[in-house]
């Protein structure tokens, strides 16, 4: 396992735990420009302070990946792509300071998922760990996966080979070869700087998952029973992470050092239990205005298509007052229709921008 000793304390303060320059309390500034502000993040409140269970810090995750690039547009347009309001900045930074999950609610296309990628890029927190939620998602899916069937099959194949007298019969790997941490499990590894975890569309889950998340998000740790059962004879086991790298898990327990920046997104399709709500910092994203829509289009499609698509932006805004629409519908319409002439252009736009709050 790669390890690092980047931090002499908790890995999250600047020299002597100083505040950002100029007394500015904002760690995440929403500028889209990378900086080292994460090192000025003060110590967490005592009730949110985690020690990593005495485990050495693991290496940070890989840098921003292609998923972030697609979300944020070309990096030279980051400042335009997601520029939060002053109130949004305060709420996001409150989640950073308090080490609490950020529960982001809003209509599709308002930038809920993009926010996680923006924070990760600006603060240099590496690849966003993404857990998309569906109705069948369970807590274990986010924590880890143990492929017991593959392990049994490999053992049977090896036994058959030995029975046949094959000297080249493969020896099955240890239990760690069949374990892989999920996005949530990887986010809770002890790292010097927090990882960013996006739990996307939590309102799509069944009724149990929000409650099941409570203990893990509160305690910042989880156990792997398959490893705990063999801890006496194998106290350390190497397993794969969601990043595709290997780390050592000791005594079947994973406990964070820097609590991850967790973004829970919801389209507002259901209510969540009060115990989850009180453990989160809520952020409601409203409908984007003309300026924000135009900058989103510009970041993805450039100045020329933004100018050509001005009428579609206006029509989109007008319709969004009474209809549920998503920003990616507008992007699709502008990209496709700039190749077409009237009246085909209008017909294509109407085909692509259909309301989402009524059955078709």
Q: Give CA–CA dist 176/198, Å, rounded.
A: 26
Compute CA distances 293 → 33, 80, 83, 122, 298, whole Å.
Answer: 20, 10, 11, 21, 9
Q: Residue 11: is its pLDDT beyond 60?
A: no
SS3 state of residue 148: helix
> What does the pLDDT read at residue 162?
65
Task: Quote the pLDDT of residue 6.
Answer: 41
pLDDT tier at 16, thresholds 50, 70, 90? very low
Task: Work out the mean pLDDT of the chain and round it to a whole number.
Answer: 84
Whether residue 303 has pLDDT greater than 50: yes
Q: Starting from the edge strand earliest in sequence, which strands make up the sheet with 129-132, in order?
A: 129-132, 196-200, 261-266, 102-105, 281-284
**pLDDT exceeds cutoff 60 at 81:** no
More confident call, 354 vs 287: 354
Output 161 or 35, whichever has higher pLDDT.
35
Spatial CA neighbour of 258 closest among 80, 167, 126: 126
Query: Over 70: is that where the pLDDT of 23 sits?
Result: no
Higher-pLDDT residue of 13, 343: 343
Q: How confident is the model at residue 102 (pLDDT cuts 50, 70, 90)?
A: very high
- Fold of domain 15-145+175-284: Rossmann fold (3.40.50)
Q: With residue 329 as reference, give the H or E element that holds it.
A: helix 327-337
pLDDT band (50, 70, 90) for residue 49: very high
pLDDT at 70: 59
Tell me the whole-structure pTM to 2 decimals.
0.82
**Using 50, 70 and 90 to split pLDDT, how confident is the model at 22?**
very low
Confidence class for position 71, pLDDT limits 50, 70, 90 = low
302 membership: H or E segment, kind and range: helix 290-308
CA distance 286 to 308: 26
Token couple for 212: 């099941």
Burial degree of 78 (CB within 10 A; 0-12, 13-18, 19+): buried
Q: Above 70 in pLDDT, residue 254?
A: yes
Q: Are 110 and 153 in contact (CB under 8 A)?
A: no
| Percentage with pLDDT > 70 across the chain | 83
- pLDDT score for 169: 46
- Average of pLDDT values for 329-357? 85
Task: Please state, as a whole number, how many other Cβ atoms lie within 10 Å of the Cβ of residue 188.
Answer: 29
> In the chain, what are the domain boundaries?
15-145+175-284, 290-352
Higher pLDDT: 325 or 38? It is 38
Q: How many CB atoms lie within 10 A of CB 344?
A: 11
């Amino acid at each position: 396992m790669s390890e690092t000793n980047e931090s002499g304390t908790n890995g999250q303060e600047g020299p002597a735990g100083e505040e950002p320059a100029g007394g500015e309390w904002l760690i995440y500034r929403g500028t889209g420009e990378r900086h080292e502000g994460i090192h000025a993040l003060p110590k967490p409140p005592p009730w949110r302070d985690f020690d990593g269970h005495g485990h050495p810090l693991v290496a940070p995750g890989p840098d921003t990946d292609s998923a972030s690039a697609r979300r944020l547009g070309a990096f030279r347009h980051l400042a335009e792509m997601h520029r939060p309001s002053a109130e949004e900045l305060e709420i996001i930074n409150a989640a950073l300071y308090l080490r609490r999950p950020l529960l982001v609610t809003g209509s599709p296309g308002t930038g809920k998922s993009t926010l996680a990628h923006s924070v990760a890029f600006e603060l240099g927190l590496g690849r966003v760990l993404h857990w998309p939620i569906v109705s069948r998602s369970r807590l274990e899916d986010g924590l880890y996966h143990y492929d017991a069937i593959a392990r049994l099959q490999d053992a049977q194949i090896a036994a058959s080979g030995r029975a046949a007298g094959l000297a080249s019969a493969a020896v099955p790997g240890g239990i760690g070869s069949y374990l892989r941490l999920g996005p949530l499990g990887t986010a809770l590894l002890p790292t010097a700087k927090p990882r960013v975890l996006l739990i996307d569309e939590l309102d799509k889950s069944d009724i149990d998952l929000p409650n099941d998340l409570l203990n893990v998000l509160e305690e910042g740790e989880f156990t792997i029973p398959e490893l705990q059962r063999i801890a006496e004879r194998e106290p350390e086991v190497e397993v794969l992470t969601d990043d595709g790298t290997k780390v050592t898990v000791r005594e079947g327990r994973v406990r964070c050092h820097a609590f991850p920046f967790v973004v829970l997104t919801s389209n507002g399709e259901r209510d969540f239990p009060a115990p989850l709500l009180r453990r989160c910092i809520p952020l409601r994203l409203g409908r984007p205005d003309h300026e924000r829509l135009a900058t989103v289009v510009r970041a993805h499609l450039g100045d020329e298509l933004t100018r050509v698509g001005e009428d579609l932006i206006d029509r989109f805004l007008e319709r969004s007052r009474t209809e549920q629409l998503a920003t990616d519908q507008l992007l699709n319409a502008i990209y496709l229709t700039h190749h077409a002439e009237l009246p085909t252009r209008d017909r294509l736009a109407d085909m692509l921008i259909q309301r989402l709050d009524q059955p078709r």
